[in-house]
Amino acid sequence: MNVSIVIQAGGQSSRMGEDKGLLELCGRPMIENIIQRLKPYAHELIITTNHPERYRQFGIQLVGDIYKDYGALAGLHTALSAATNEVVFVIACDLPFVNLGLYKFMKNLFMAKNVDVVIPKTEMGYEPFYALYRKSTCLPYVSSAIDSGKRRLISWFESAIVHPVFEVELRQFDPLLASFVNINTPEDLKLAEKQCLEFL
């Protein structure tokens, strides 16, 4: 089954003070680390951004949010709406240390089970911007959540068939859970820079 991979670059980056996806990490823009790793596995590759002029350099389809200034749930709605394939992997641009073994494991899980979502769940909670979604079921759930005024990314999970991937399984592929190292602040970026050789 074909997979659409959607990279979310639509956040406000308020704590970083500049566009996170374009910050240099490991010698290139952070989003480029994700593109280069996942492009071979994408039947369709999309970047969601409300600043397309900043991302044209990557030569990838760019899509702006349908619901403006609504937050992360709107970003997920945009990703699912833009994807043309039934299976959609959504990843945030500030999660640069993509683990391909984990991605393939999650994709295989999704293909083998009759579920709507395959999503990592660590002690910090769900990781909705590192997850696989079934477009035909999830898009209506997300749309309904937005129409109801909900903003939490997982506010619609009670309606869906969700398959969590817990830490014991995640660590088989990603022992240090580097996949979920989130770059939100300049301090995060400095720490991540020290991990480049280890994780990329």
pLDDT digits 0-9 by tens, 87-115:
999 999 999 999 999 999 999 999 999 99
CA distance 81 to 138: 10
What's the domain range around 183? 3-199
**Which helix (H) or strand (E) element contains residue 54?**
helix 52-55
Q: How far is CA 159 from CA 60, 115, 162, 177, in A?
A: 33, 12, 9, 28
- pLDDT tens for the chain, 200 residues: list them: 899 999 999 765 555 556 888 999 989 999 999 999 999 999 999 999 989 999 999 999 999 998 888 889 999 999 999 999 999 999 999 999 999 999 999 999 999 999 999 999 999 999 999 999 999 999 999 999 999 999 999 999 999 999 999 999 999 999 999 999 988 888 889 989 988 878 76
CA distance 105 to 175: 14
Give me the DSSP letters along 31-43. Answer: HHHHHHHHGGG-S
* Residue 124 neighbours by CB under 8 Å, 6+ apart: 180
* Residue 188 neighbours by CB under 8 Å, 6+ apart: 181, 182
Query: Domain holding 110: CATH number?
Result: 3.90.550.10
> Tokens 């005024």 sit at which residue?
149
Per DSSP, the chain holds a count of helices (H) and strands (E) of 8, 10
Q: What local confidence, expressed as pLDDT, does residue 1 receive?
A: 87
How many domains is the chain partitioned into structurally?
1
Q: What local confidence, expressed as pLDDT, does residue 16 receive?
A: 54
The pTM (predicted TM-score) of the whole model is: 0.94
CA distance 131 to 179: 11
- Give the helix ranges, DSSP H, for 83-195: 100-112, 135-147, 167-173, 186-194
Q: How far is CA 47 from CA 9, 65, 138, 172, 182, in A?
A: 7, 11, 19, 29, 18
